Amino acid sequence: LIEMDEDTVTRDVLEAIISINPTPEEVEQVKEAEASDLKLSAPAAFFLMTSRIPRYQARLQCWLLKLRFPGLIDTVQEELTLLRDVSTQLRSSQPFRRVLRAILDLGNVLNAGARLGGAMG
């Protein structure tokens, strides 16, 4: 975990570790148990070890973002491509221009004589 070795800790394992992170109260209980020389269970020893790693929670979240980032970028790129394609089609669509022109003309009729009447398209 400290070295952030992606060969050892996969994204699924990392998500599982994040989902079982102890609360501050649980960490305190483990520290108290250690101080009283009680034998710690494996999960309690793990909680104790992770509590000693500086900014442990933030590190895990950043690591998970790093692992998820390529998929997020792919999704955003697909959406941007779709948006660009739709924008290109709308800009070149004569029927869409006619609809917008009809809406503008209707607005001008409704606003005739008012300050907003006669808007240019």
pLDDT, tens digit, 9 for 90 and up, residues 42-75: 888 888 888 888 888 899 999 999 999 999 999 9
Check whether 113 has a pLDDT greater than 80.
Answer: no
| Phi and psi at residue 38, to the nearest 5° | -80, 145
**Spatial distance between the Cα atoms of 95 and 69, rounded to a whole number of angstroms:** 40
The model's pTM = 0.59
* pLDDT of 115 over the 80 cut: no
2-25: buried (b, 16+ CB within 10 Å) or exposed (e) per residue? eeeeeeebeeeebeebeeeebeee
